[in-house]
A and B are shown apart, each in its own frame.
Chain A
């Protein structure tokens, strides 16, 4: 039968044969669970008892929960500090690294190395750094030059930035590489023309370099924002004795989801939180794309 088909028909048969397993995979492992998560968010279910339909109860409960608003705020603080900070630092590094030839590859390697580490391992390393005297490296260093101790992870004000620091640190190398590729893609003739016209480096930076880097900047902003909104590994591992503490001051949305689903087993409530996370990610990405593309 196959022999009688035209070349075009044979291609269609092959295409669907190649796609059969992947389509099954995407349907069962991606699309069905997405629908299921939305469905569960309208139910009350603790894994053992019956599933009962409760309409928008989970969402109402969520929006009336002060912990949720605290967590929501934390999640955005991670985003609003993390994204601009890592964008600026990585651009400054890439801009200067791009103009250095001596041992260029070695310097690049130093900046990129943290990207290859595991978040969990590095969260524990930084957690050790942050311990009070006589354990933690940072406080020991402060003590040795006579500066009073700093309450990194103990303070409700400083715990969040302390948890964020290793997350920013680990992502810098990736962003530096992307920025350098973006810088190299700018034709050198633009710079030469500017030099002949005697334009200052500051003007060159603002009038040539940054506008032409826009696609790179958009990519890095959207990519790193999604990462900071989904922060979990660092927070969980640096605060295992009191997840998201002290006093929920470091708790992000994903940690709240994890606790609701797998410590309290309140599946419906947790599912509603995941739907909110999905909407937050979607809206933030779309708004960023809109603003950055238009300006």
Chain B
């Protein structure tokens, strides 16, 4: 019910409100320019995909459609197993981190929003204040910590800094404000314990926010570069961005193979976007307005 209440407002923000105007020259020109601009925006992505399907001899011509498209580049790049491993590593890390964030950020957001207890305000301010600290300031201590505890070059080492985020906590706290206290009181009278109330009553009511949070965290971890670059040192532990960076740096690698690697690390998120477009754009709007 609350979910249904949230949806129309964000939907209203997304729907075209412009009154229907008769198509005049100005409108047509405006549309044409926007269309050309949009095509220019996706050109780099289009050239990346097109080049990954080309034979070496036609890589350097400007044609967008390859003469004889083929997938040899993909089989070649995946054959020696590196890209396959990097893909799996990135997927495991992004999925686990996303699940952790969805659970913990919403649990903390819910607690700070719906419970009255001494110290609540201090905890909230403390978590919020971590938003001001840039990751780059923490990488040196994180590296030392990982070295001390043997976390270097492990999945845990790559993941641990991102398991909870202040941004996610804040976003979820804002959304739990829309859940009426009466619902929670009613559940309490029905004899549910607090954990059950959070999971079975409150969580389903903020599903759109959870989806937005999940997408942001997944995208952020899938494309994360600096920390995985620092914490990994064996080729098998690289994530896709780190792997692609080292692959591209090998002097003799051909550009069509680099484009293939770039396509492998980009296409999954583009597919996710095309499927969940509505939710993602809604999520951006929600995060932008509430965050």
Contacts and interface: CB of A to CB of B under 8 A. Distances in A.
Contacts of A124: 244-245, 248, 258-259, 261-262
B273 interface: yes
Interface stretch (B29-37, B66-74, B175-183): B29-37
Nearest to A270: B140
Interface string A176-213: 01101100110010000000000000000000000000
A232 B35 contact: no
A101 B289 contact: no
B35 A107 contact: yes
**B contact face: mostly helix, strand, loop, or mixed:** helix
| Chain A interface extent, by class | 35 or more
Nearest to A216: B288
Contacts of A291: none
B201 interface: no
A33 interface: yes
Given A14-B115, A26-B164, A230-B136, A113 B45 contact: yes
Contacts of A237: 245, 248
A141 B62 contact: yes
B142 A33 contact: yes
A108 B33 CA distance: 13
B7 interface: no
Contact of A121 (B20, B265, B289): B265
B172 to A, nearest CB: 12
**B: interface residue count bin:** 35 or more
A116 B219 CA distance: 7
Contacts of A240: 245, 248-249
Given A177-B288, A254-B226, A188 B48 contact: no
Looking at A18, A120, A261, A262, which has the most chain B CB atoms within 10 Å of its CB?
Answer: A120
A149 interface: no
A15 B30 contact: no
B255 interface: yes
Nearest to B248: A124
B17 interface: yes
A16 B117 contact: yes
A181 B288 contact: yes
B138 interface: yes
Given A14-B194, A15-B120, A110-B39, 17 more contacts: A12-B118, A22-B127, A26-B164, A29-B142, A30-B130, A37-B138, A110-B38, A113-B42, A122-B44, A122-B262, A128-B259, A129-B47, A137-B47, A177-B285, A178-B288, A181-B285, A184-B14
Interface of B: 12-18, 20, 27, 30-31, 33-35, 37-39, 41-42, 44-45, 47-48, 51, 60-62, 104, 107-108, 110-111, 115-118, 120, 123, 126-127, 130, 132-134, 136-145, 160-161, 163-164, 169, 194-195, 198, 219, 222-223, 225-226, 230, 240-242, 244-245, 248-249, 255, 258-259, 261-263, 265-266, 269-270, 272-273, 277, 280-281, 284-285, 288-289
Interface of A: 8, 11-12, 14-16, 18-19, 21-23, 25-26, 29-34, 36-37, 40, 93, 96-105, 107-114, 116-122, 124-129, 131, 134-135, 137, 140-141, 144, 166, 169, 172-174, 177-178, 180-181, 184-185, 188, 216, 219, 226, 230, 232-233, 236-237, 240-241, 254, 257-258, 261-262, 267, 270-271, 274-275, 277-278, 281-282, 285
